Amino acid sequence: MSTATEQPHRKVEPKKSFTLSMLLYDQRYRSITIQVFFLFLLMLAAAWLVDNTINNLRAQGQDFSFRFLNAPAGYDISQRPIEYNSQMTHGRAALVGLLNTLILAVMACVLATILGVIAGVLRLSNNWIVGRLMTVYVEVFRNIPTLLWILIFGAIMTEAMPAPSAFRGDDPSASMLFNESVAITNRGVYIPAIIFERDLGTVTLGPVSPSISWLLVIVIVVASVWANKLLIAHATRVQNATGVRPKTWWKSILILLGPLAAYFIFLGAHLQHPELRGFNFRDGVHLRNSLIAMWLGLGIYTGAFIAEIVRAGILAISRGQTEAAFALGLQPGKTMRLVILPQALRVIIPPLISNYLNITKNTSLGLAVGYMDLRSTLGGITINQTGRELEGMMLMMLIYLAISLTISGALNVYNSRVKLKER
């Protein structure tokens, strides 16, 4: 007689074969069916729209083509980060406008971030006057449209600043700043330029020919930052192993500044100050009033929004973190910099992305003060001259979309690195 407990025999049901009805009635396939159906409808709508557009253009004797980008532009651009003249193509003009857009966006993002962080922290200050002043800044700037601030700063630069002739004579009514190196005039701001005595020339990279000397500057800066990051990581490992953190401040200064200083000395870098010759300043770097107005308008306006984001991020951190830092003997400044702000970044970064995207898109307001960005070149003069409204607008939309997705993707990667990791 067997003592083993007999297990009941489990009947294995035969696997059902796939049928077309399962696409609608089986939960495993129904969601896919619905998505494919709506994707098909979207493709049909896009195909109809494209076909209808082409037929309408053909009826008017036009075609859909981007050949206009190879035609001579025939207009000048005041601010040219790369070589350009009126005999070059519309494509070259669009590239100059794109570079002007990127330059302005980077400058405005940096200014807005600095102002926003400072104002956001100071608004939480225990000093009543400082806190109220930051409140006034936030409430005034964020409740007036960006375009008005741009026009105001443009008017100030054009009307309130002295003319270059005011700097001439034995007793000039205006004088240059910072040891005769910076001139603020109604034609723009003139600042010193860095000149290399032993210039390494240029390299052709497609439509642009950047300076090899400045490309190496970027390489050295990136390498120095990476090396300093390795140094800090090593100091952290030593601290975790021994409980004592080695001093790294002087090593960080040497790593970050030493190679760049040696490179500048090797190439004989020196400052070329602007000089008044004739009716205007020459040499140096000329920052036009349109760029200054856009930079201040976008940077200060968006800084008010970032200040509120920073304040909200700080308030989201438990007060116990501050009390614990004070109990360890940290000063308020170090507590904010080393304890509160790193944790607040997890709250700050997501809305900060939206503000950076807004700055990039709001650069299109440069048309109001004559700033020749992508909107003014490709989306303005080029379209008016060639009559290619559809192609120009589509190309401009794709460029703005690509820039926005790049910014969003880069900051999302950073956000994923600083956010809390679940265990």
State whether residue 364 is helix, strand or coil.
Answer: helix
Flag whether pLDDT at 56 surpasses 90: no
For residue 165, the model assigns a pLDDT of: 86
Q: Give the residue-averaged pLDDT of 332-355.
A: 85
Quick check: 192 pLDDT over 90? Answer: yes
Taking residues 149-174, report their average pLDDT: 89
- Quote the tokens at residue 171: 């007793």
Question: 118-124 long-range contacts, Cβ below 8 Å, gap at least 24?
Answer: 118/307, 119/303, 119/304, 119/307, 119/310, 120/306, 120/307, 120/308, 120/309, 120/310, 120/311, 120/313, 120/314, 121/310, 121/311, 121/314, 121/336, 123/307, 123/311, 124/311, 124/314, 124/315
Q: Which pLDDT score is estimated for 8?
A: 55
The pLDDT of residue 247: 86
Q: Residues in the chain, how many?
A: 423
Q: What is the structure's pLDDT at 406?
A: 92
Q: Which of 18-32, 60-74, 191-205, 321-335 has the lowest mean pLDDT?
A: 18-32
Number of H helices, E strands in the chain: 14, 7
106-131 burial, b at 16+ Cβ within 10 Å, e below that, comes to: ebbbebbbebbbebbbbbeeeeeeee
- What mean pLDDT comes out for the span 42-65? 83
Q: Which pLDDT score is estimated for 12?
A: 53
327 pLDDT more than 80: yes
- Separation of alpha carbons 384 and 233, rounded Å: 56
Q: What are phi and psi of 268, to 5 degrees?
A: 70, 45
Residue range 361-371: mean pLDDT, rounded? 91
Beta bridge partners of 182: 177
Q: How confident is the model at residue 11 (pLDDT cuts 50, 70, 90)?
A: low
- Alpha-carbon torsion 10, 11, 17, 19, what sign? negative
pLDDT digits (tens, 9 = 90+) for 233-289: 998 898 888 878 888 889 999 999 999 999 999 999 999 999 888 788 888 899 999
Which tens digits make up the pLDDT trace of 132-158? 999 999 999 999 999 999 999 999 999
Query: In which element (H, E) is residue 406 found?
Result: helix 389-418
% of the chain exceeding 70 in pLDDT: 94
Would you give the DSSP letter of residue 410?
A: H
Mean pLDDT of the chain: 87
Q: Show the domains of the chain with their CATH numbers.
A: 102-165+287-377+397-423 (1.10.3720.10), 193-272 (no CATH)
Amino acid letter, 388: R
d(CA 408, CA 350): 9
Sign of torsion over alpha carbons 142, 147, 153, 159: negative
Long-range contacts of 88-95 (CB under 8 A, 24+ apart): 90/378, 90/382, 90/385, 90/386, 91/207, 92/207, 93/377, 93/378, 93/381, 93/382, 94/69, 94/374, 94/377, 94/378, 94/382, 94/395, 95/207, 95/208
Distances (CA, A) of 168 to 105, 148, 164, 172, 173: 35, 34, 7, 6, 8
Provide the terminal-to-terminal Cα distance of the chain, rounded to the nearest Å.
53
Token look-up 């939480």 returns 124
What is the pLDDT confidence band of residue 302, given thresholds at 50, 70 and 90? Answer: very high
- Highest-pLDDT range among 20-24, 47-51, 105-109: 105-109
**pTM (global) more than 0.75:** yes
**pLDDT score for 115:** 95
Helix, strand, or coil (residue 67): helix
**Token pair of 2 as six digits:** 């067997």
Higher confidence at residue 199 or residue 112? 112
Distance CA 295, CA 289 (A): 10
φ and ψ of 270, to 5 deg: -150, 165
